[in-house]
Structure 1
Amino acid sequence: MSSTVIPLAAGAGLDFSLPQQLTVIALCALTAFISHMALAVFNDGVRPFMLDFIQGRTTRTATTAVSFGLSAGFIFGLGAPMALSSGVLNPWLLFLPTDILGLLSPKKWLAPILGAAWGAVVVFGLGGANNLAHDLPVDFLTAMQQMSTPILFLFTLFPVLAITKQFGRGWGGIAGVVELALVVLTMKLWPNMFAGALAMAVGVLLLIGLAISRDLKQRRLDRATAAQADAKGPAAGAGPAAGTAPGGGAPGAGAPAAGEEPADEPADDPMASLFSASAARLRRYLPLFMVLGAGVCLLAQMHIFGGGEATSFLIAKGQYAEAAQVDFYRVFGFVPLIATTALASGAYGIAGFTLVYPLGYLMPNPVLALAVGAAVFALEVLALSYIGKVLGKLPSVRDSSEHLRGAISETLQLAILFGSLMAANAMGAGLGILVVGGLYLLNEAMGRPVVRMAAAPAAVIVGGILLNVLYWLDLFTPVKG
């Protein structure tokens, strides 16, 4: 991507073909049904609460209340504004409501009907709302496209933040300089390519390389320490008066007594038992998960859906390879979280490890997308226990995923806030900034009733409506151009 902002391809409206409409409706029906069965939810914050629901320690109503409380801000403050401004659907708009509707439904047969109804609202109602907003004197949706530039460019820095937090300022500074150089180089040599693509690739690879190197170094150190302990062991008990072991124990204190378990065979681990039971529960529904994976991958292949904030704008610009690259990097930040919460709760993620997003963007036809999506979900579910065990042996890699998620949130919060203020300036100049910035600050002062990431886009929409009201009252003149 060059330094000039490329107009969004979807700026004209949200119009879907019949196959696209049917896919969205069917997928919303399926995800609501799966949520009702407590097999998967999209909201990572809701998943830890699912174990109590599955085991009958909490009610459907209480679990629905938790889901609504954790999701409503993202649906109306982030999902809807992002879809309206980019012209591309997103998981917050589609899957968070079906989480709620599925859990809310008292009957199994009602859940897919409610999910399908929400899908119909999205595909038939969103376009009308989009067209209506564009016809207003203050077109706040077009103004919201100003968000694309800060989101795309600031998002590039998330590996730098993650490296700095985990490995210190030295490595963070190196990563920052390298990424900046690569962004400048990309803009100069490949102007049609997303400027942050190469920089993000190098940043993520550097983070993973540092984490693996630390884990391998620690394992070598642990083995050396264990070898030294073994070498000292026999010598400590040697001598003619070795009838008593060091510390006053009985002879042979290091060996297990009759009837005891060997020291290297730990007693039953309740967490391991829970993880095993959860993995087995998910495997029992493998065909249903394969259908889910096929549906999500197909939706991504249609290029009317983006898995993230930056991805939505890249899809809108028609940069599908770059969108796939961005969502592929996000996978590294979410695999440990999704795997551990799924094994602990018995409920998987609606999008799995989200690997079906980038694969779907790159699929040349719907048939291949269906096959690949089903295969990817099958492998993910079958490998869940193994992935959990591997992550247990790589603590630095696990920590890297935590830092990646935190860095993604921090960069996007700043980018969305900055982009929202740019949108406010575009639609109302100083008054627009005053209204949108004031609403954002008011939300902060009130203890964030709307989550921080969603507060700024929501403020743009509320501010845009307010500016239109002021125009109709002849108290405001829209900014020209």
Structure 2
Amino acid sequence: MSTTLAAGAELDFSLAQQLTVIALCALTAFIAHMALAVFNDGVRPFLLDFIQGRTTRSATTAVSFGLSAGFIFGLGAPMALSTGVLNPWLLFLPTDILGMLSPKKWLAPILGGAWGAVVVFGLNGANNIAHDLPVDFLTAMQQMSTPILFLFTLFPVLAITKQFGRKWGGIAGVLELALVVMTMKLWPNMFAGALAMAVGVLMLIGLAVSKDLRQRRADRAAGVVEEVGGDDPMASLFSASATRLRKYLPLFMLLGAGVCVLAQMHVFGGGEATSFLIAKGQYAEAAQVDFYRVFGFIPLIATTALASGAYGIAGFTLVYPIGYLMPNPFLAAAVGALVFAVEVLALSWIGKVLGRLPSVRDSSEHLRSAIGDTLQLAILFGSLMAANAMGGGLGILVVGGLYLLNEAMGRPVVRMAAAPAAVIVGGIVLNVLYWLDLFTPIKG
């Protein structure tokens, strides 16, 4: 399977795609303004104080900006420019900020729609300018695809090792390696990590469920009785939050329809690996990758939604893989709306189930941590490959030096976004050196 994109990824959208992006950005900003949902999982816990009037809109906006800016400019924009595919960090993190920033309800969708227009009309111009430079750092950034796609395959192995120890981790690692080699040999047109990830995630879930069932049998044998009822303040809070979200069910259904339609148009990828797969037209593999990510985020999104009264802009992110596979936008809209309706209505039940399956809940934490670890290494390694492609040793010196400087300064740019941001800054530096006749671009 080729992991190289065609040079010069285009960000040229049809009218329908432009209108969908603008409308969806307007809607997400409006929903963020009402504190009904945000995309940034780190912001959601802060919304309870805002909803209950214990903090101000400006203070909450400052939190949102502080937690999101690095991802927008360091990850969202570079990934979109290098793949030609939009992503949630570029679209939904800014609308989180703009929605919270807006002092009036009617202004929020205008600000959100304006951001959507900037993305669909302005990004392609920036893309064309960058590709015309003597040092084409955007094409060089496509070198990131191979490490991201292949290292991402290992996230179930890391999660199993962290939760169930070295023995099970070793078994999972050997099994995944064998499956990757077999896939490359027998099905060369298929994403090599697809089958390996499927088996790894199923293995993790199987181990977690098995551990929980054994524990419950042991508790029953020991005469431990599960307490039911009582005055649980968290249960009361969860119930109030679920009721608040159900009150706005039609709005959430509209949101689910919009996100699913955008995914169906194949100009949007829900994750780093997914963006490269969408760019290569491998929609089934992209759906598979984003489906596995769901298992790492359902417990986080469900518990933070029930605790704060604010949902996720993409819900449990199930609408991403479903959208990639839909044959037309009309069916995508209907299914997306239905999926969000089921998710919102099932929140309380999901919270109760997770309370009874602690190992499964822990598995989601380990999955998220493992996804972060694999992508962190893959993005850093891919960024250094991009630096080498655009500037050889000097490129590595500049990009690697900027990354290390960011670390030494206490990470003003979050680590995940620091390396892609360093590639863009490094590319600009190399172009300046070229114009000063101090650097000759690498050919080929």
Same fold per TM (> 0.5)? yes
Which residue number in structure 1 is paired with residue 351 of structure 2? 388
CA distance in 2, matches of 1:10, 1:407: 31
The 3 A distance-change label for structure 1 pair 265 and 451 is closer
Deviations along 1:334-358, one digit per CA (max 9) or x if unpaired, are 0000000000000000000000000
The 8 Å contact of residues 3 and 146 in structure 2, kept in 1 or not, is answered as: no
TM-superposed deviation, 1:124: 0.3
The 8 Å contact of residues 336 and 398 in structure 1, kept in 2 or not, is answered as: yes
CA distance in 2, matches of 1:322, 1:441: 34
Query: Does residue 157 of structure 2 align to residue 160 of structure 1?
Result: yes
CA distance in 1, matches of 2:78, 2:86: 10
Matches within 5 A, 1:378-457: 378-457=341-420
CA distance in 1, matches of 2:263, 2:12: 16
CA distance in 2, matches of 1:45, 1:452: 15
Deviations along 1:346-377, one digit per CA (max 9) or x if unpaired, are 00000000000000000000110000000000
The 3 A distance-change label for structure 1 pair 37 and 136 is same
Which residue number in structure 1 is paired with residue 298 of structure 2? 335
- Which secondary structure does the structure 1 equivalent of 2:7 belong to? helix
CA distance in 2, matches of 1:206, 1:18: 44
Deviations along 1:287-317, one digit per CA (max 9) or x if unpaired, are 0000000000000000000000000000000
The 8 Å contact of residues 20 and 262 in structure 2, kept in 1 or not, is answered as: yes
Deviations along 1:14-48, one digit per CA (max 9) or x if unpaired, are 10000000000000000000000000000000000
Percent of aligned pairs with the same amino acid = 90
Q: Which has the larger radius of gyration?
A: 1
The 8 Å contact of residues 148 and 419 in structure 1, kept in 2 or not, is answered as: yes
- Which secondary structure does the structure 1 equivalent of 2:12 belong to? coil
TM-superposed deviation, 1:13: 1.6
Which residue number in structure 1 is paired with residue 135 of structure 2? 138
TM-superposed deviation, 1:267: 2.9
The 8 Å contact of residues 8 and 131 in structure 2, kept in 1 or not, is answered as: no
CA distance in 2, matches of 1:284, 1:4: 45
The 8 Å contact of residues 75 and 97 in structure 1, kept in 2 or not, is answered as: yes
The 3 A distance-change label for structure 1 pair 10 and 277 is farther
The 8 Å contact of residues 82 and 141 in structure 2, kept in 1 or not, is answered as: yes
The 3 A distance-change label for structure 1 pair 5 and 132 is closer
Deviations along 1:220-275, one digit per CA (max 9) or x if unpaired, are 0000xxxxxxxxxxxxxxxxxxxxxxxxxxxxxxxxx999xxx9555311100000
CA distance in 2, matches of 1:10, 1:430: 22
The 8 Å contact of residues 10 and 88 in structure 1, kept in 2 or not, is answered as: no
In structure 1, stretches of 5+ residues that fail to align are: 224-256
TM-superposed deviation, 1:5: 3.7
Deviations along 1:177-225, one digit per CA (max 9) or x if unpaired, are 00000000000000000000000000000000000000000000000xx
The 8 Å contact of residues 157 and 169 in structure 2, kept in 1 or not, is answered as: yes
The 8 Å contact of residues 9 and 82 in structure 2, kept in 1 or not, is answered as: no
The 8 Å contact of residues 10 and 316 in structure 1, kept in 2 or not, is answered as: no
What is the root-mean-square deviation in Å for CA atoms of aligned residues? 2.5
Deviations along 1:41-77, one digit per CA (max 9) or x if unpaired, are 0000000000000000000000000000000000000
The 3 A distance-change label for structure 1 pair 477 and 105 is same
The 8 Å contact of residues 268 and 278 in structure 2, kept in 1 or not, is answered as: yes
- Which secondary structure does the structure 1 equivalent of 2:103 belong to? coil
TM-score w.r.t. the length of structure 2 is: 0.98
The 3 A distance-change label for structure 1 pair 186 and 265 is closer
CA distance in 1, matches of 2:50, 2:292: 32
- Which secondary structure does the structure 1 equivalent of 2:165 belong to? helix
* Correspondence for 2:433 among 460, 467, 470: 470
Matches within 5 A, 1:281-292: 281-292=244-255
TM-score w.r.t. the length of structure 1 is: 0.90
CA distance in 2, matches of 1:4, 1:151: 10
CA distance in 2, matches of 1:385, 1:10: 48
The 3 A distance-change label for structure 1 pair 159 and 407 is same
The 3 A distance-change label for structure 1 pair 60 and 325 is same
The 3 A distance-change label for structure 1 pair 265 and 360 is closer
The 8 Å contact of residues 72 and 94 in structure 2, kept in 1 or not, is answered as: yes
The 3 A distance-change label for structure 1 pair 258 and 384 is closer
* Correspondence for 2:47 among 31, 46, 50: 50
Which residue number in structure 2 is paired with residue 198 of structure 1? 195
TM-superposed deviation, 1:11: 3.3
In structure 2, stretches of 5+ residues that fail to align are: none
CA distance in 2, matches of 1:103, 1:153: 37
The 3 A distance-change label for structure 1 pair 258 and 152 is closer
The 3 A distance-change label for structure 1 pair 401 and 36 is same
